[in-house]
Amino acid sequence: MTLINSFVSDLELDKELIYCLKNRNMEQKFLYMDEAASFYYQTYGHSSTASPVDFSTDEYYDILTKQFKKKQRFALISLGCGDAANEKKMLKKLKQEGYNFTYFGVDASRQMLNLAVDNLADLKDDCQFLCADIISEDFQDEIAQLTENYDCRGFLFLGGTISNVNQTNIIDSLYGLLKKNDLLFLDIRVRNSLDNSADLELFNFYAGYLKEKKMVQWLLTPLRNVGIDPSCGTLNLEMVKEKSIGAILFKFNFLFNRKFIIRLRNEVIHFLPEERLELLNIRAYYPDSLTSFFKEHDFKFVQGKVNAKIRYGFFVYQKN
């Protein structure tokens, strides 16, 4: 049986959840906790808005393998791995072709990691799983110790995960986590241009989420989990430009239309009419601006590929 090494306690999660609710900004991890984990994949996997990418196909697989040599022993650390479906085929192909690697799946949701363990059961001893907050000091110390004897390390940020979190926070955290010459692999939604009409097309794309019953149910799951009645408000989508990184931010939030009170542990939280609780952030990046953003934080661009048709990009950066 594969063990999951946990650095997150239920008490810590409860405290963080209360902090998020008080600040009206739900951390993305709470969309993937408990029953929401399997519900997310049941929903998103059948969504008409989903754009799955197969990393075992030559166009993406070759970008990854170009960075490593078969004689090297390398670590692949997947940050926010979820159920590891994004990398499953790619990892099996690496093993079949004789690459010497260990996969470290990292996620704050134990439920997601349980799915990942099942998904990657065939890899057996080539996998380790950590339930952790990737910006925590405990995790950074642990991953440094676990990978200290590897020839090289590659950090995977797949599934567009990087777009969900505060950008200045995550880039500084990545700088502290990665060592000199470590590689960072990103897949992201891209903006084909800086033109407003193109951004409107993306807005309409994500607005489609609000028309899909199962997707709406998933977005509302964190509210139900803390006792908020979804009938006391409505889901909304906002679009905000973030010029410093050349991104468009799509913010899904819950707008209260009447007063609602919840009690968690010993805390009482009041939500008033017209208050917004942020649930999910998604970004689409203009590649040149994103690369400039990384460059200013001492990462160099190594390689990238953009599929303009599906507005998708796969990029490799290296810490200087």
What are the tens digits of pLDDT across the range 91-130? 999 999 999 999 999 998 888 898 899 999 988 888 999 9
Give every residue of the chain whose pLDDT is below 70, as ranges.
Answer: 1-2, 34-52
First-to-last alpha carbon distance for the chain, in angstroms, is: 39
Number of domains within the chain: 2
Residues 209 and 80 in one domain: no
Bridge partners of 6, per DSSP, are: 131
Residues 119 and 225 in one domain: no
Helix (H) / strand (E) element for 247: namely: strand 247-256
Place of tokens 């799955």: 52
DSSP label at 170?
A: H
Question: Which residue range forms the structural domain that includes residue 166?
Answer: 4-192+285-319
Residues 307 and 162 in one domain: yes
Token couple for 232: 């006391």
Residues 186 and 205 in one domain: no
- Give the pLDDT score at 255: 98
Residues 209 and 144 in one domain: no
Residues 79 and 205 in one domain: no
d(CA 24, CA 175): 28
Residues 245 and 290 in one domain: no
Residues 179 and 278 in one domain: no
Residues 151 and 50 in one domain: yes
Residues 28 and 112 in one domain: yes
Q: Is 262 within 8 Å of 228 (Cβ atoms)? A: yes
Residues 95 and 171 in one domain: yes
Which whole-number Å values give the CA distances from 236 to 81, 206, 254, 256, in the listed order?
Answer: 27, 11, 6, 10
Which whole-number Å values give the CA distances from 314 to 33, 185, 301, in the listed order?
Answer: 27, 7, 12
What are the tens digits of pLDDT across the range 31-48? 887 666 666 666 555 444
- Give the pLDDT score at 3: 79
Helix (H) / strand (E) element for 299: namely: strand 299-307
CATH number of the structural domain spanning residue 314: 3.40.50.150
Residues 15 and 123 in one domain: yes
